[in-house]
């Protein structure tokens, strides 16, 4: 046997991880997975990569007596899952990655005769409080829920924040005809330093459509395509946080399925682990009273403004 062959056998015996090991720290979008530990003994899997989504920790080595330890998941906006422990014995699963939302703990070893314990979940990294400013880097956009003549979320938010933010919302505006995206573009042109966007949008796209029931879901999906594009653009422009205020059920029962679909999509897609962070306020859960079957009454707008402000404080959003 050659010297090289003996070296490979020795590395396998002591369980040194093969594969990429740690993801490159100088590549923030990397999702490098940890290397799997060598066979047949109790090697530790390689660490998951540092990245926007931390890589999955490498699996521990398959063993005869003691399961290999799964490595920790990578550091990232969404921590990678901890590595699975070795295929036999009592090796522990790796710890989930440190992240804005901690990665899940790794799987314990497959019993032979006794399975290893699963790894613990990763630590949650708290968002640094962006603090209060003079209101010049906070923008509100949207439709009549944001501004209805002299009422709306905008004046209520100003009242609770004791500031005057940059306001662009107009009643009757839509997403799919580019009116609401254009409100944002106007603010960027006026002053590109925007850290927080508070917005509504999509209600008039649905209410103005002839659709009914679940057939309105296609319109909702089209709205989300455009909003996701807009949110991505905001991120490129340096926006740190987006607060999406969702509607409550209108008196028109034919549009209720559309709101259900919109809530489902917002809960799944508007999440703080994204860049920019996205925060969803579900207006249907606030017990709002509608003054005309569509718009909240003054007390409802005040509640919405207060809810937005309290979220900004609680989450350390620039405000």
Residues 6+ apart with CB under 8 A from 53: 31, 74, 76, 77, 78, 80
- What is the pLDDT averaged over residues 168-172? 98
Total domains in the chain come to 2
The structure's pTM equals: 0.65
The DSSP letter of residue 276 is S
Q: Are residues 87 and 194 in the same domain?
A: no
The pLDDT value recorded for residue 119 is 56
Convert the pLDDT of each residue in 206-258 to its tens digit. Answer: 999 999 999 999 999 999 999 999 999 999 999 999 999 999 999 999 999 99
Do 269 and 293 have their domain in common?
yes
Q: What is the mean pLDDT of residues 268-289?
A: 97
15 domain-assigned: yes
Ranges 48-62, 78-92, 197-211, most confident: 197-211
Distance CA 177, CA 209 (A): 13
pLDDT at 50: 40
| Residue carrying the six token digits 């925007």 | 194
Residues 214 and 280 in one domain: yes
Q: Could you give the maximum distance between any two Cα atoms of the chain, in Å?
A: 86
224 and 256 co-located in one domain: yes
- Angle among Cα 259, 261, 262 to the nearest 5 degrees reads 60
In a domain, 68, yes or no: yes
Residue 132 lies in a domain: no
48: left (phi over 0), alpha (psi -120 to 50) or beta: beta
CA angle 291, 254, 270 (to 5 degrees): 80
**Res 23 pLDDT > 60:** no
In a domain, 133, yes or no: no
Question: Please, where are the H alpha helices in the chain?
Answer: 3-14, 153-161, 179-190, 203-207, 217-236, 256-269, 298-314
Does 73 reside within a domain? yes
At 104-124, the pLDDT tens digits run 555 545 544 445 555 555 545
CATH code for position 300: 3.40.50.1110
Q: What is the pLDDT of residue 166?
A: 98
pLDDT tens for each residue of 267-276: 999 999 999 9
> Which domain covers residue 72, as residue numbers?
6-125
Same domain, 95 and 63: yes
* Residue 303 pLDDT greater than 80, yes or no: yes
Same-domain status, 32 and 162: no
pLDDT at 277: 98
Last residue of a domain, one of 125, 156, 186: 125
User: Looking at the structure, do residues 171 and 65 belong to the same domain, yes or no?
Assistant: no
Which residue has better confidence, 14 or 255? 255
pLDDT at 178 over 70: yes
- Asked if the structure places residue 131 within a domain, the reply is no
Higher pLDDT, 90 or 206: 206
Residue 100, helix vs strand vs coil = strand
Q: What is the pLDDT of residue 127?
A: 78
> Are the C-beta atoms of residues 113 and 137 closer than 8 Å to each other?
no
Same-domain status, 57 and 113: yes
Cα-based distances in Å from 4 to 14, 42, 317: 16, 22, 57
Residues 162 and 231 in one domain: yes
Asked whether the beta carbons of 213 and 254 are under 8 A apart, the reply is yes
* Ramachandran region, residue 4 (left: φ > 0; alpha: ψ -120 to 50; beta: rest): alpha
C-alpha 258/C-alpha 231 separation (Å) is 21
Instruction: Answer whether residue 319 is part of any domain.
Output: no
Contact 197, 141 (CB under 8 A): yes
- Verify that 192 and 286 share a domain, yes or no: yes
Beta-bridge mates of residue 99: 76, 124
């Amino acid at each position: 046997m050659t010297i090289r062959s003996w070296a490979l056998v020795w590395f396998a015996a002591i369980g040194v991880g093969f594969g990429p090991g740690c993801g490159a720290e100088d590549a923030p979008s990397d999702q490098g997975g940890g290397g799997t530990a060598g066979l047949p003994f109790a090697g530790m899997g390689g660490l998951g990569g540092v990245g926007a989504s931390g890589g999955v920790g490498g699996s521990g080595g398959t063993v005869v007596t003691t399961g290999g330890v799964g490595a920790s998941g990578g550091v990232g906006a969404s921590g990678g899952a901890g590595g699975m422990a070795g295929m036999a014995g009592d090796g522990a699963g790796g710890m989930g990655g440190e992240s804005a939302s901690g990665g899940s703990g790794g799987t314990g070893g497959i019993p032979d005769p006794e399975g290893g314990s699963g790894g613990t979940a990763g630590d949650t990294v708290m968002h640094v409080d962006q603090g209060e400013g003079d209101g010049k880097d906070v923008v509100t956009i949207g439709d009549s829920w944001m501004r209805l003549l002299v009422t709306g979320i905008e004046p209520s938010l100003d009242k609770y924040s004791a500031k005057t933010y940059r306001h662009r919302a107009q009643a009757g505006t839509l997403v799919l005809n580019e009116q609401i995206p254009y409100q944002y573009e106007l603010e960027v042109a006026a002053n590109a330093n925007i850290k927080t966007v508070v917005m509504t949008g999509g209600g008039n796209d649905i209410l103005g459509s002839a659709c009914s029931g679940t057939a309105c879901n296609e319109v909702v999906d089209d709205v989300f395509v455009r909003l996701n594009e807009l949110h991505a653009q905001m991120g490129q422009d340096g926006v740190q946080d987006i607060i999406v205020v969702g509607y409550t059920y209108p008196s028109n029962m034919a549009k209720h399925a559309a709101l259900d679909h919109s809530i489902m999509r917002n809960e799944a897609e508007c999440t703080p682990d994204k860049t920019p962070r996205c925060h969803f306020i579900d207006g249907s859960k606030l017990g709002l009273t509608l003054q005309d079957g569509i718009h909240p009454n003054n007390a409802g707008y005040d509640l919405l403004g207060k809810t937005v402000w309290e979220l900004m404080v609680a989450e350390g959003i620039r405000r």
